[in-house]
Structure formats: C-alpha cells, structure tokens
Amino acid sequence: MKLIHYKILTIALTIFLVGGTVSWIQNANPNSIKKITAEEAADKALSYINNNILGDQIIANLINVIEDKEKSLYKLNLKIGDRELESYVTLDGKTLFPDAINLDAAAVAEQ
C-alpha cells in the first residue's frame, strides 16, 4: 500500500516539475520581446540606411513592409535608385539585415 502512495506521489511531482519547466520556458520565449509596429521598424531602418549607409549619394524609399511570421522578422521591400531590394528588421527594430542569402538555394559557381 505504501508503495502505491510513493508511486502516485512520484508521478504527481514529475507532472508538477514538467509543468513548471514548460511554463518557465514559455515565459523565457524570444516571442516575448518588445515588438514595435511594422511602420516604426521600417522608418527606423530607412533612417539608418539613408543616414549611415547611403549618405548623400542616393535615397532609399520604402515600397512596402510586411511581417514575415515564418522568420519572425519584418520584410522590407526597398527601392534604392533603380534597384528593388529586400531587407529584414527584427520585430523589436534593433537589428537590420540589409541583404538576405537563401542558404537552401543551390550555390551557383561563378565561371
């Protein structure tokens, strides 16, 4: 009879510990960052690009901005001169990825 009580107690404590661990992991989730709006992120990125990368040479303009939920980033479509480019900004607007390289695409050897 005592053995059954210990087994039940062990199972209950295990469930409690697993539940507590899962709850802790969810609270430490990177999705809990302070997210800014897509427009705020785009404005911040454009300001940085125009002031720090391009200078007075040319101006980058925003075509559109969308949230790429798969990548957890904002995708910016920009027009710089006569070229259209894609850039990415983190949801908190703190990191800009001016260019993206698709690592799943087959590498093309230059000849």
Better pLDDT: 91 or 31: 91
Question: Per residue in 94-110, pLDDT tens?
Answer: 999 887 777 877 666 55
- Residue 78 C-beta-side C-alpha neighbours within 13 Å: 24
Q: What's the pLDDT tens digit per position in 71-87?
A: 889 999 999 989 999 99
Q: Rounded to an integer, what distance in angstroms lies between the CA atom of residue 4 and that of residue 21?
A: 26
Side chain identity at residue 24, one-letter code: W
**Model confidence pTM above 0.75:** no
Q: For residue range 3-48, what is the model confidence (pLDDT) as tens digits?
A: 677 777 788 777 877 777 666 665 555 555 688 999 999 999 999 9
pLDDT in tens, 47-66: 999 998 888 788 999 999 99
Residue 99 contacts residue 89 (beta carbons within 8 Å): no
